[in-house]
Amino acid sequence: MLKGKVALVTGSTSGIGLAIARALAREGADLMLNGFGEAQAIEKTRAGLEAEFGVKVGWSGADLSQPAAVAGLVEYAVRRLGGVDILCNNAGIQHTAPIERFPPEKWDAIIGVNLSAAFHAMRVAVPHMRKKGWGRIVNTASVHGLVASVEKSAYVAAKHGLVGLTKVVALETAGSGITCNAFCPGFVLTDLIRPQIEAKASKVGGDFAAGTRELLADKQPSKQLVTVEQIAAYIVFLCSDAAAQITGTALPLDGGWTAQ
């Protein structure tokens, strides 16, 4: 379905981003991966995707906290692979603390990576999409782009901002063949959530399953974690022709969290 398209997925060396990249490669898209990690492991992932799906796969370790590096990442994908048709702003970082004890440097870092990086990537990618008359932008916004939780001031602010930014870009690109959407997952088993589960588990003798149930109990009525495969399948749908008139949305994948 996506043969001949180029997808740039930030934060794609693990977790949600890697699942999205795999799903897009399965549909024939060439990939530009981005993220940190051990060089040998990243190269194994990159080469493995190329071999498994028969697509071109590049990688950049661009630091998304730096605006110039974000712009350079998009331009590198254009030079290396011929364009950026699909942009998935997925990279994110987290820190939890009451606002009176929230470190200002953590605030700046979270806003920079979770919100500003998406702005800089879209700013540079949209002109390339306009030239082709086709583009798909998908922003990882989290359920915290729709509701709040305690001790997550920077994360909630960034994700609410990302939902608003998504709507603005959707309006500015409406009718151009470009769509811009956000998706808002609840708890997904990733490295971002694992410390919260482990903190709960420590109160019940280190039982990870019990810690998971306790974390989900107050928030996610399904009592089940969202899977990265479910998220990836939704992103593939948003890139399809069937989703050409879906733009400016922020869809929860949250097991009923925001229905409460």
Taken in order 141, 142, 144, 150, the sign of the CA dihedral is negative
Residue 76 is among the residues annotated as catalytic for this protein: no
Catalytic residue among 76, 155, 234, 257: 155
67-81 and 117-132 helices, crossing angle to 10°: 30
Cβ atoms of 151 and 97 within 8 Å: the answer is yes
**Start-to-end CA span in the chain (Å):** 37
Query: Contact, 73 vs 60, CB < 8 A?
Result: yes
Q: Which burial class, exposed, middle or buried, applies to 127 when counting CB atoms under 10 A from its CB (0-12, 13-18, 19+)?
A: exposed
What CA–CA distance (Å, rounded) separates 154 from 87? 24
Nearest 5°: the CA angle 44, 229, 116 is 75
**Geometric angle at alpha carbon 162, from 3 and 20, rounded to 5°:** 30
CB 10 within 8 A of CB 222: no
Tokens representing 63 are: 């630091």
Q: What angle do CA 251, 255, 257 make, to 5 degrees?
A: 75
Residues 67 and 123: their CA atoms lie apart, in Å, by: 11
Residues with a known catalytic role: 155
